[in-house]
């Protein structure tokens, strides 16, 4: 297996795009290639994620993006795995490059839903859950994650402030991130006064619908030995699945797919959680960040809330979590989210994170979940 790097990464500002997903995808891809010092002609395969492309009447978007990049002959496909689509695409890129099937592979995620009414947008999101047994019976993602939050609260009696502290932290980080959908801090008081969406989850427990696009350039060390930016060594690229339906799972304290993917990733990287400097985790709801930190092995079950309240995961804490602002405040443009997490790692490791820079950025982990955990991708990166 060849040593495989992320040599470039870029995103637009998440939030509301006036251009189409395909246009935004091509634009961020060019920026990521430019940051890498790699020419489009060097790309051997393109993996696009655009789970809700049909909302723009457009499938088969890979050749359109490649054509915009001037490389129409390069093969491409679209990769979907609900909210973990572009980290699944990153895994395919890693396999192609590490296995010697391509020297350079491009990963692009883009999503646009802001032109739809909220009900229609919600129905697109809901396709990540099980239609026959969940969605058709009225389940939505706030309701499903509220179930996880209730199970967690029931078991550990954590205060509302523990959930709130995740939101306050991530909004504070996003306020320093020019890519973020929400660039304003909130207080715990604001959190506690916000309306309940699905008990116990309040408005500020929930990530927004965002438009956005992000791109990652993956290359073999031997193919791009001197990229323009400091490359990220891909130390692990691991994925796992799980029973989709929450009612069929033996236990609601955590996501089995996260545990399985994390175990594979740490084994592959030959690293332990204690050796990771900072994390970007999938905080579609505040409960999701707490479960992630425990499933990934950073905190014992039931203790991540207290650690967050005590500031351990803050940007200037012991181990920063979601310095970008996370899905919660940077935003969640479904198919761009996984690639966007890598953009944050790239910018942190390249001194491009400005005022949100973490103290130490030698190793990082990204964690991207599909729906309520039917799929999960974990990647671990280090500087050379």
Q: For binding to a second copy (CB under 8 A), which residues are involved? A: 1, 20, 51, 53-54, 56-60, 62-64, 66-67, 71-82, 85, 88, 91-92, 95-96, 98-101, 123-124, 126-132, 135-136, 239-245, 248, 256-257, 260-261, 370-371, 374-375
Beta carbon of residue 75, minimum distance to a second copy (angstroms, whole number): 4
Q: Where are the alpha helices (DSSP H) in 118-182?
A: 118-126, 141-156, 160-174
How deeply is 347 buried, as exposed, middle or buried, from its count of CB atoms within 10 A (0-12, 13-18, 19+)? buried
Per-residue DSSP letter, 332 = -
Question: Measured from the CB atom, is 100 or 351 closer to a second copy?
Answer: 100
Q: Is 228 helix (H, G, I), strand (E, B) or coil?
A: coil
Q: In 13-37, which positions are buried (b, 16+ CB within 10 angstroms) versus exposed (e)? A: bbbebeebbbbbbbbbbbbbbbbbe
Question: Measured from the CB atom, is 350 or 377 closer to a second copy?
Answer: 377
Residues ≥6 apart with Cβ < 8 Å to 131? none
Residue 202 has φ and ψ, to the nearest 5°, of: -100, 175
Question: Measured from the CB atom, is 95 or 116 closer to a second copy?
Answer: 95
**Location of structure tokens 């899905």:** 327
Question: Measured from the CB atom, is 102 or 166 closer to a second copy?
Answer: 102
Concerning whether 332 is annotated as a catalytic residue, the answer is: yes
**Location of structure tokens 């058709």:** 136
CA 77/CA 88 separation, integer angstroms: 12
CB 275, CB 363: distance < 8 Å: yes
Residues ≥6 apart with Cβ < 8 Å to 122? 140
Beta carbon of residue 368, minimum distance to a second copy (angstroms, whole number): 12
- Of the candidates 91, 282, 332, 367, the residue annotated as catalytic is 332
Question: Measured from the CB atom, is 123 or 228 closer to a second copy?
Answer: 123
User: What sign has the CA pseudo-torsion 97, 350, 286, 158?
Assistant: positive
CA 83/CA 49 separation, integer angstroms: 10
CB 284, CB 146: distance < 8 Å: no
Concerning whether 207 is annotated as a catalytic residue, the answer is: no
- Residues designated catalytic: 83, 332
């Amino acid at each position: 297996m060849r040593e495989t790097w992320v040599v470039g990464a870029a995103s637009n500002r998440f939030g509301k795009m006036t251009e189409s997903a395909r246009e935004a995808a091509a634009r961020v891809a060019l920026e990521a290639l430019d940051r890498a010092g790699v020419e489009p002609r060097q790309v051997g395969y393109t993996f696009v994620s655009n789970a809700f492309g049909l909302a723009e009447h457009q499938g088969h978007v890979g050749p359109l993006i490649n054509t915009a990049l001037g490389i129409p002959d390069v093969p491409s496909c679209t990769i979907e795995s609900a909210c973990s689509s572009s980290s699944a695409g990153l895994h395919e890129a890693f396999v192609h490059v590490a296995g010697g099937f391509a020297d350079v592979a491009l990963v692009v995620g883009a999503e646009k839903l802001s032109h739809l009414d909220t009900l229609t947008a919600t129905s697109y999101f809901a396709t990540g859950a099980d239609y026959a047994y969940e969605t058709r019976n009225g389940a939505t993602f706030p309701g499903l994650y509220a179930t996880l939050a209730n199970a967690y609260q029931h078991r550990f009696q954590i205060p509302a402030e523990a959930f709130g502290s995740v939101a306050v932290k991530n909004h504070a980080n996003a306020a320093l991130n020019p890519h973020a959908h929400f660039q304003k801090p909130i207080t715990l008081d604001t959190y506690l006064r916000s309306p309940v969406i699905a008990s116990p989850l309040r408005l500020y427990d929930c990530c927004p619908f965002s438009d956005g696009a992000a791109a990652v350039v993956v290359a073999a060390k031997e193919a791009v030995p001197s990229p323009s930016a400091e490359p990220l060594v891909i130390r692990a690229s691991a994925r796992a699945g799980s029973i989709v339906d929450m009612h069929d799972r033996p236990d609601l304290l955590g996501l089995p797919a996260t545990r399985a993917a994390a175990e594979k990733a740490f084994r592959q990287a030959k690293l332990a959680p204690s050796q990771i400097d900072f994390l970007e985790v999938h905080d579609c709801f505040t409960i999701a960040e707490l479960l992630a930190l425990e499933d990934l092995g950073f905190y014992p079950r039931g203790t991540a809330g207290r650690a967050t309240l005590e500031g351990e995961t803050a940007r200037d804490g012991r181990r920063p979590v979601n310095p970008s602002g996370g899905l919660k405040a940077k935003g969640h443009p479904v198919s761009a989210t996984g690639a966007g997490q890598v953009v944050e790692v790239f910018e942190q490791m390249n001194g491009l994170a400005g005022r949100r820079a973490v103290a130490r950025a030698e190793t990082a982990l990204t964690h991207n979940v599909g729906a309520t955990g039917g799929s999960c991708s974990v990647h671990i990166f280090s500087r050379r």
